[in-house]
């Protein structure tokens, strides 16, 4: 397609042949004919009585002078870069685009060539409302009991053939079959749009609560931010993001939800046609309602447990009295008993380490660490296991014990302490 | 750039709408949609109606009706319909002769004979989406008072 370069006027009686572009600042003089296949860019002036043969969309900003007839701009050329650049995206031709059609005819009457054009018929492309809402993270968000500001990430895509706002809301109604085991609700729920488009929730930066002016075929991340209650039985909370297509066009304010047009088509008005899917197939969303939804879960993976340790001491023997009413004199043997209790029912504590320093003026009695089920005072452990002081595994039990001579510290390790149970560890020292 | 002085001369005297009304050949363009209804015999009857809502992907039917309102037969009648840019050609409507099509507005032929030049200079076979214009030629003169119509199917891009 050739472009007409310098500003010029197409004089009377001239025809601009097919495939030409009349550039900015040109004037198509009176009585001119513009043939099929021409592109007239915005801002062109048509003089009186000009005829533009062919069909096309009327573009904005055309200056039309008095006496103009049958003005339509031309714009097509399947083989040029400009045409490919202007091709609509998957959402299709923008809503509000006027499609006008005019045919032309030529014929001979008694050997004289004549031509004519048809009427111009036109319609306005209506708004085909569609959207996609997806969960934009590979798995549920792992959270801890009592965690504040836990984030789930979604993505909303505008498949409408126009720029739209999207109103955002949430639901904690369990999605059937998707969140088996949903047993708690999160609180303090906020929904924010990824304002800086980095895909990550930034506190204080991503503050918009609705999607503003999302172009056709564009998408944006949306975050749900919520608090996990301090509730020990909590396991899983499903959360659903609901996006509702709303009117675009006002960059400063949130649009109102679109409603499907009812009644007969008005060719000059952009009707609203809902074309969205049933996005969950579970009855909570339905097709053609202008809404889309997706669900994610908050999954408890870290819990706090209530651990407590009790320590008792007992003089076992002394060099004078032996085991009968022993006194704490130098040379006497003293047993310390540490009892750890996990008071959180149903939640095991992992890797519990009991440590204690050997008191001053005493000497650790090698091989005296015993770990096992607590006994009734004064018995520390029942059928306890004697630990190897080097921390190596003990036959018959997962418990281990060790003595650090440099730090004068004993350690008893309990790999798993079930909820509601206790384990005791004892060691002995000799008074110097 | 004088390529069609005869046409320009004719049109230079009057505006298009006026000439269309004044000339012996009347051409009427309309855009319709298919309406499907179950008929009593169990088949589906398709009628053409004024479209209700039209959104991208919808099928529309372009109908060109022509009529010789004069007293002389008209020879070499050619009806040319450049496609609006938002419209993608699909096929002739059932019952209508197939038009010659063009992907550049200059060369017309059946779709299978046309090729499209890509940006890198190579060419490929043209698809219906590449069509920019359709054209029908009447093989025999159009007698005074006679009429007819052509139609093709397209979708909104």
Q: What is the pLDDT of residues A301-341, one digit of tens each?
A: 877 788 999 999 999 999 988 888 898 899 999 999 999 99
- Alpha-carbon distance of A58 to A75, in angstroms, equals 9
Q: What single DSSP character describes residue B16?
A: H
- Alpha-carbon distance of A153 to A146, in angstroms, equals 20
Residue A195 has pLDDT above 70, yes or no: yes
Residue A179 has pLDDT above 80, yes or no: no
pLDDT digits (tens, 9 = 90+) for A388-418: 988 899 888 999 999 999 999 999 999 999 9
Pick the more confident residue, A124 or A284: A124
In contact, B33 and A124? CB cutoff 8 Å: no
Structure tokens at A200: 């990550």
In contact, A238 and A160? CB cutoff 8 Å: no
- CA count, 13 A, side-chain hemisphere, A151: 16
Structure tokens at A147: 């965690």
The pLDDT value given to residue B3: 42
pLDDT digits (tens, 9 = 90+) for A258-267: 988 876 656 6
- The values of phi and psi at residue A225, to 5°, are -120, 125
Q: Does B14 touch chain A (CB under 8 A)?
A: yes
The pLDDT value given to residue A103: 92
Q: Say what percent of chain A tops pLDDT 90.
A: 51
Q: Output helix, strand, coil percentages for chain A, rounded to the nearest 5.
A: 0, 45, 55
The pLDDT value given to residue B22: 58
The pLDDT value given to residue A378: 84
- The values of phi and psi at residue B33, to 5°, are -125, 160
Radius of gyration of chain B (CA): 18
The pLDDT value given to residue A19: 38
Torsion sign across C-alpha atoms A143, A145, A149, A155? positive
- Alpha-carbon distance of A106 to B96, in angstroms, equals 20
| B120: CB partners within 8 A, 6+ apart | none
- How confident is the model over A193-204, as a mean pLDDT? 93
- For residue A84, give Cα distances in angstroms to A264, B59, B115: 34, 22, 16
CB contact under 8 A, A101 and B70: no
pLDDT band per the 50, 70, 90 thresholds, residue A39: very low
Please choose, from the candidates A397, A65, A94, A70, the residue with its C-alpha nearest in 3D space to the C-alpha of residue A249.
A94
Q: Mind telling me how many Å the CA of B22 is from chain A's nearest CA? A: 9
Please choose, from the candidates A92, A98, A89, A155, the residue with its C-alpha nearest in 3D space to the C-alpha of residue A128.
A92
The pLDDT value given to residue A168: 96
Please choose, from the candidates B84, B156, B116, B92, the residue with its C-alpha nearest in 3D space to the C-alpha of residue A72.
B84
Please choose, from the candidates A120, A121, A115, the residue with its C-alpha nearest in 3D space to the C-alpha of residue A33.
A115
Question: What's the full length of chain A, in residues?
Answer: 432
Residue ranges of the domains in chain A?
2-125, 129-302, 307-431
Structure tokens at A80: 């040029």
- How confident is the model over A37-41, as a mean pLDDT? 38
pLDDT digits (tens, 9 = 90+) for B82-124: 999 999 999 999 999 999 999 988 889 998 889 888 888 888 8
- The values of phi and psi at residue A193, to 5°, are -95, 145
pLDDT digits (tens, 9 = 90+) for A60-110: 333 333 333 332 222 233 333 333 435 778 899 999 999 999 999 999 988
Helix boundaries (H) for A334-376: none
Please choose, from the candidates A281, A220, A258, A242, the residue with its C-alpha nearest in 3D space to the C-alpha of residue A128.
A258
* Interface subset of A 213-272, CB within 8 angstroms of B: 261, 264-265, 271
The pLDDT value given to residue A267: 64
- The values of phi and psi at residue A35, to 5°, are -75, 175
What does pLDDT average to over chain A? 79
The pLDDT value given to residue A137: 92
Task: Kindly provide the ipTM of the predicted complex, given to two decimals.
Answer: 0.79
The pLDDT value given to residue A38: 40
Q: Does B80 touch chain A (CB under 8 A)?
A: yes
**Which chain A residue's Cα is nearest to B86?**
A93
In contact, A280 and A175? CB cutoff 8 Å: yes
In contact, A399 and A371? CB cutoff 8 Å: yes
Q: Mind telling me how many Å the CA of A71 is from chain B's nearest CA? A: 9
The pLDDT value given to residue A264: 64
* Interface subset of B 47-66, CB within 8 angstroms of A: 50-57, 62, 64, 66
- A53, exposed or middle or buried, with CB in 10 Å at 0-12, 13-18, 19+? buried
Which residues in chain B show pLDDT less than 50? 1-21
- Alpha-carbon distance of A337 to A114, in angstroms, equals 115
In degrees, to the nearest 5, what angle opens at C-alpha A385 toward C-alphas A383 and A387? Answer: 160
The pLDDT value given to residue B49: 83
From chain B, the residues in CB contact with A47 under 8 A are none
Measure CA B39 to chain center: 30
Say yes or no: domain A307-431 is CATH 2.60.120.340. Answer: no
Helix boundaries (H) for A143-221: none
* Interface subset of A 6-25, CB within 8 angstroms of B: 10, 12-20
From chain B, the residues in CB contact with A28 under 8 A are none
In contact, A48 and A36? CB cutoff 8 Å: no
- CA count, 13 A, side-chain hemisphere, A291: 16
- CA count, 13 A, side-chain hemisphere, A219: 16
The pLDDT value given to residue A74: 29
* Structural domains for chain B: 23-156 (2.60.40)
The CATH class of the A129-302 domain is mainly beta
From chain B, the residues in CB contact with A10 under 8 A are 1
The pLDDT value given to residue A265: 58
The pLDDT value given to residue A44: 39
Residue A164 has pLDDT above 80, yes or no: yes
What does pLDDT average to over chain B? 82
- How confident is the model over A272-286, as a mean pLDDT? 83
Domains A129-302 and A307-431 share a fold: yes
């Amino acid at each position: 397609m050739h472009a007409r370069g310098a500003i010029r006027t197409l004089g009377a009686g001239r025809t601009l042949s097919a495939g030409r572009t009349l550039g900015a600042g040109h004037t198509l003089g009176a009585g001119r004919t513009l043939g099929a296949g021409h592109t007239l860019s915005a801002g062109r002036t048509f003089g009186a009585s000009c005829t533009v043969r062919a069909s096309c969309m009327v573009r904005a900003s055309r200056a039309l002078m008095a006496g103009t007839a049958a003005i339509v701009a031309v714009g097509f050329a399947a083989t040029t870069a400009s045409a490919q650049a202007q091709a609509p995206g998957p959402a299709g031709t923008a809503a509000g685009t006027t499609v006008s059609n005019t045919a032309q005819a030529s014929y001979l009457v008694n050997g004289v060539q004549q031509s004519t054009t048809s009427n111009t018929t036109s319609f306005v492309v209506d708004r085909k409302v569609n959207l996609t809402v997806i969960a934009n993270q590979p798995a549920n968000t792992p959270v801890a009991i009592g965690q504040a500001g836990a984030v789930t990430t979604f993505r909303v895509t505008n498949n409408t053939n126009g720029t739209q706002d999207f109103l955002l809301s949430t639901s904690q109604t369990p999605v059937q079959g998707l969140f088996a085991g949903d047993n708690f609700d999160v609180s303090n729920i906020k929904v924010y749009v990824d304002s800086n488009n980095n895909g990550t929730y930034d506190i204080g930066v991503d503050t918009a609560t609705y999607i503003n002016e999302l172009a056709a075929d564009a998408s944006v991340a949306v975050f749900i931010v919520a608090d996990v209650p301090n509730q020990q039985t909590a396991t899983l909370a499903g959360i659903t993001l609901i996006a509702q297509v709303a009117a675009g066009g006002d960059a400063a304010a949130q649009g109102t939800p679109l409603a499907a047009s009812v009644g007969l088509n008005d060719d000059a008005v952009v009707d609203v046609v809902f074309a969205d899917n049933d996005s969950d197939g579970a009855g909570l969303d339905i097709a053609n309602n202008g809404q889309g939804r997706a669900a994610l879960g908050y999954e408890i993976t870290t819990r706090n447990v209530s651990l407590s340790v009790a320590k008792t001491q007992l003089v076992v023997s002394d060099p004078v009295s032996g085991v009968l009413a022993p006194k704490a004199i130098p040379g006497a043997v003293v047993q310390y008993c540490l009892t750890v209790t996990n008071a959180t029912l149903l939640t095991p504590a992992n890797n519990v380490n009991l440590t204690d320093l050997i008191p001053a003026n005493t000497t650790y009695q090698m091989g005296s660490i015993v770990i096992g089920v607590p006994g009734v005072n004064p018995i520390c452990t029942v059928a306890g296991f004697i630990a190897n002081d080097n921390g190596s595994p003990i036959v018959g039990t997962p418990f281990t014990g060790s003595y650090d001579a440099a730090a004068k510290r004993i350690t008893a390790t309990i790999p798993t302490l079930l909820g509601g149970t206790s384990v005791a560890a004892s060691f002995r020292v000799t008074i110097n | 750039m004088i390529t069609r002085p005869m046409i320009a001369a004719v049109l230079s005297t009057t505006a298009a709408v006026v000439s269309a009304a004044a000339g012996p050949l009347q051409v009427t363009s309309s855009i319709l949609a298919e309406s499907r209804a179950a008929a009593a015999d169990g088949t589906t009857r398709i009628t053409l109606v004024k479209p209700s809502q039209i959104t991208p992907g919808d099928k529309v039917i372009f109908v060109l009706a022509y009529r010789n309102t004069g007293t002389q037969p008209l020879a070499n009648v050619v009806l040319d319909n450049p496609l609006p840019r938002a419209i993608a050609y699909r096929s002739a409507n059932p019952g209508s002769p197939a038009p010659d099509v063009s992907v550049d507005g200059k060369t017309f032929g059946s779709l299978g004979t046309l090729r499209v030049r890509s940006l890198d200079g190579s060419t490929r076979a043209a698809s219906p989406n590449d069509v920019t214009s359709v054209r029908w030629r009447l093989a025999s003169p159009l007698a005074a008072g006679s009429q007819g119509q052509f139609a093709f199917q397209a979708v909104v891009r």
